[in-house]
Amino acid sequence: MQLMLTQPSIEISTNVEIRAVFDPLVIRLGEKSTYRVTINAVSDSIRWPEDIYAPGELTLKQSARGQTLQPAGAVLKPMTTINHHVAATAAGDFTIPEFKVKVYGRNVTVPAARLTVSTNPPIATTDVPRLFLEIAETNIYSGQPVKVRVLMPATQGNLMQALQQVQLNGDGILLDQSAVRQRIQQMEFSGRVGPTYIYESTLIPLVAGRIDVTAQAFTAGNQFSGSIVIQGGAVIQGGSPQYLLLDSDSVQMNVQPLPRTGELPGFNGAIGQFTLEPPQLSTNRVRVGEPVKLLVMFRTDGDIKRLLAPPPPAVTNWQMFPPVAEGGLMLTATANAISSAQTFSYTLIPLTNNMTATPAIPFSYFDPAQKKYVDLTIPAVTIKVLSGGATAEAQAIAQVAAAATNERKLKLSELATTPGRTASLVPLQLQSGFLWGQFVPIFGFTGLWLWDRRRRFYELHPQLLVRKRALRALRRERVELSKAAQAGDSARFAALAVSTMRIGSAPHFPAAPRALVGRDVLELLDESDRNGQSGEVVRKIFSTTDAAQFSTAAMDAADLLAVRTELDRVLDRLEEKLK
């Protein structure tokens, strides 16, 4: 509780003050100036426009934005600074007019600022601190750590001040904060030797491509954070710091991706140049089931802090544990540089006693100078494995377990021995034949349904079926009748005439057609037809055929052909009655 109360509050001022200046105010044509706007507000509350109106001769490019919390009595005052790099294409006096920005949701005016660009400017009376960014290598590979330095030369009179909130801006970079070192040492800048503040760290690009990196920092007077080494004479600025936001020109890095081809086994991201000391075992005689340590030392001329030791290989006779760093970094000074070394230990447990050496541990690194992967496999070390207390069964189980872990690792399968069943890649659902084929059962079942429906209908109305059949038979007989008439076969004509009339009349009587006589047919005719010519024709035909049937004399049906027309009329009547 007490701890929380002792934190000073951040003043969110209702009275927002903005200051806009060019630094320096006067430049030579071709030089750059910094358009610096300082606002006493929290950075997130400021909505800075993307484009600021400026005279056409000036080019503005936003270069840095930062916030400090400056103590002001019992409160902390936020100060946000936004820098723009300004270049001019012509000499003259240029003014960026006042404009409005939103701070804490309210419109606030940024005052106008004036810059003088001259071909012959007077000698500057004040010395402006400048920031430089230096990257040891700008053509590197992604994941390759590279040394980076942010430099600030002392101003006039060797006046030096600290830098706070040093920050590198760029897409896809990672700065190793634990590798930061700061010092002040004598360096030469612009033909002048003097103290220079150096902020050094390691940068790792995470993307391949072109990366523009800039540095920014606040000057902080004599408020150094962390330890600092000072070499040579330097005058540390006293008093309260000014917290001026400085930024450097951008440095372009061209980052290549690591080549995929040529990658060697055991590669785990190590980039640089490494050497391997001969590995050592903690003991060269061990029993089955007892652990033994394998010590491996890697060296490099650069920083070895971020080296990952290779993982142990999957072997069935050994149980191997992941490597552990042993001891701290070892630094050795050579003629031109400092080399570093790190020892890793692997714990191994033999599972059987038929080995004579530890397994080799694959390791490789990518050498950016040679642009290729270099093998640095940790070689096998001779060891004597004695039989231990574990039974053969336990040993076998341990081996199987080790083998099972190996199998889980993915690898390319063997070739198939046979091609298998041929099938089309296009699924049936997309084949038009299959879709059209669905119409077959549709039509089939529809037809079946219709047929069943018809059948049921005729089962309910049998009389209709009888009539229909009789009608069909009648029409068939009429065709035969017509043929007989055309052939002049009067006997056949007579017989067919009788059978046709019987067939046409039968549905009206509960009798078979053969049982019907002429009177039955006449009953079906109208009164007028019965008494008229139609009736005569019926009687004549029936009497002729009856006479032929029931007497021994031959049928005299020659004149029956003449009544064909009337007969047709009778048959039409009968047909009408059947419909």
Partner 1 sequence: MNSKFKIKNEKWGRRGRAALVFNFAFLILNFVGAADGTNGTHTNDTNTAPELTPTNTRDFFNAGTRRLTEGKLREAEGFFQSALTRQDERFQPQALHNLGHVRYGQGAEELKKSPDANAASQRAMNALDRGDAVLRSGSVALAGNDLNKLIEAYVNGRGARKELRETADLVRRAMEAHGAALSKWQRALGDFKSALELNSNDADAKRNIEIIEEAIAKLIDKLRKMAQLGQMMGQQRGEIGEMMKQLRGKIPAPDAPPGDAGEEDEDEEERPNGPREGQKEGKGREGEEQRPLSSQEAGWILDAFKLGGNKQLPMGQGEEKKPKDKKGKNW
Partner 2 sequence: MISLRSLQLLICLGALLICRNDAGANSGTNFFKLGTAAYEQKDFPHATKMFATSAASEPAAGTFQNLGNAEWQDGRTAEAILAWERAACLKPFDRNAENNLKFARESAQLEAPELTWCEIAASWLPANVWAWLACGSFWLAVATMMLPGVLRWRRSATQQAIVALCLGVFLLTLPTNYGSWTRSQIGFVLKRETPLRLTPTAEAEAVTKLAAGEPGRVLRERGNYLLIRTRRTTGWVERDDFALITPR
Binding site for partner 1 (CB under 8 A): 1, 30, 50-51, 56, 59, 87, 89, 132-139, 142-143, 151, 171-172, 174, 176-178, 180, 188-192, 204, 206-211, 225-227, 248-249, 251, 254-258, 268-269, 305-308, 324-325, 327-328, 368-369, 371
460 binding partner 2? (CB under 8 A): no
Question: Which partner, partner 2, partner 1, none, binds residue 410 by CB below 5 to 8 Å per kind?
Answer: partner 2
Question: Which partner, partner 2, partner 1, none, binds residue 328 by CB below 5 to 8 Å per kind?
Answer: partner 1
Question: Which partner, partner 2, partner 1, none, binds residue 428 by CB below 5 to 8 Å per kind?
Answer: partner 2
Nearer to partner 2 by Cβ, of 446 and 486: the residue is 446
Helix (H) or strand (E) holding 64: strand 58-72
Question: Which partner, partner 2, partner 1, none, binds residue 238 by CB below 5 to 8 Å per kind?
Answer: none
Distance CA 197, CA 230 (A): 9
- Among 15, 125, 370, 413, interactor with partner 2 by CB under 8 A: 413
In whole angstroms, how close is the CB of 19 to partner 2 at the nearest point? 42
Residue 484 DSSP label: H
Taking CA atoms, 187 is separated from 154, 168, 196, 216, 458, in Å, by 10, 22, 6, 20, 117
Q: Which stretch binds partner 2 (CB under 8 A): 7-15, 139-147, 407-415, 530-538?
A: 407-415
Convert 144-154 to b/e letters by CB count within 10 Å (16 or more is b). bbbebbbbbbb
* Residue 31, token pair as written in the block: 């030089």
In whole angstroms, how close is the CB of 373 to partner 2 at the nearest point? 16
Q: Tokens 């723009």 belong to which residue?
A: 84
Nearer to partner 2 by Cβ, of 452 and 556: the residue is 452
In whole angstroms, how close is the CB of 416 to partner 2 at the nearest point? 4
416 binding partner 2? (CB under 8 A): yes
Q: Which stretch binds partner 2 (CB under 8 A): 27-35, 56-64, 362-370, 441-449?
A: 441-449
Nearest to 269, CA basis, from 145, 369, 377, 365: 365
In whole angstroms, how close is the CB of 444 to partner 2 at the nearest point? 9
At what angle are helices 533-550 and 564-578 packed, to 10 degrees? 100
* Residue 391, token pair as written in the block: 């039974």
Distance CA 387, CA 402 (A): 19
Distance CA 88, CA 32 (A): 8
Q: Residue 417: what are its φ and ψ, rounded to 5°?
A: -80, -30
Taking CA atoms, 259 is separated from 216, 262, 340, 422, in Å, by 33, 7, 27, 40
Nearer to partner 1 by Cβ, of 249 and 301: the residue is 249
Distance CA 36, CA 26 (A): 14
Q: Residue 194: what are its φ and ψ, rounded to 5°?
A: -170, 175
Interface with partner 2 (CB under 8 A), residue total: 29
432 binding partner 2? (CB under 8 A): no
Distance CA 274, CA 216 (A): 33
Nearer to partner 2 by Cβ, of 256 and 533: the residue is 256
CA 262, 264, 270, 271: dihedral to nearest 10 degrees? Answer: -30
In whole angstroms, how close is the CB of 256 to partner 1 at the nearest point? 5
In whole angstroms, how close is the CB of 325 to partner 1 at the nearest point? 4
417 binding partner 2? (CB under 8 A): yes
177 binding partner 2? (CB under 8 A): no
End-to-end CA distance of the chain: 110
Nearest to 463, CA basis, from 510, 515, 501, 521: 510
- Which residues neighbour 421 within 8 Å (Cβ) at sequence distance 6 or greater? none
In whole angstroms, how close is the CB of 20 to partner 2 at the nearest point? 37
Q: Are 560 and 497 in contact (CB under 8 A)?
A: yes
In whole angstroms, how close is the CB of 251 to partner 1 at the nearest point? 4
Q: Residue 511: what are its φ and ψ, rounded to 5°?
A: -150, 160
112 binding partner 2? (CB under 8 A): no
Give the number of other CB atoms < 10 A from CB of residue 229: 10
Pairing of strands 139-141, 251-256: parallel
- Among 126, 393, 411, 510, interactor with partner 2 by CB under 8 A: 411
Nearer to partner 2 by Cβ, of 428 and 511: the residue is 428
Nearer to partner 2 by Cβ, of 321 and 451: the residue is 451
Nearer to partner 1 by Cβ, of 30 and 71: the residue is 30
433 binding partner 2? (CB under 8 A): no
- Among 126, 429, 551, 565, interactor with partner 2 by CB under 8 A: 429
Nearer to partner 1 by Cβ, of 228 and 360: the residue is 228
579 binding partner 2? (CB under 8 A): no
Q: Which stretch binds partner 2 (CB under 8 A): 46-54, 266-274, 419-427, 465-473?
A: 419-427
| Collapsed DSSP state (helix, strand, coil) of residue 155 | strand
Q: Which stretch binds partner 2 (CB under 8 A): 24-32, 211-219, 406-414, 473-481?
A: 406-414
Question: Which partner, partner 1, partner 2, none, binds residue 72 by CB below 5 to 8 Å per kind?
Answer: none
Nearest to 249, CA basis, from 150, 154, 181: 150
1 binding partner 2? (CB under 8 A): no
Nearer to partner 2 by Cβ, of 410 and 553: the residue is 410
Nearest to 380, CA basis, from 461, 313, 291: 313
502: left (phi over 0), alpha (psi -120 to 50) or beta: alpha
426 binding partner 2? (CB under 8 A): yes
In whole angstroms, how close is the CB of 410 to partner 2 at the nearest point? 4
Chain contacts with partner 2 (rule: CB under 8 A): 410-430, 434, 438, 441, 445, 448-449, 451-452
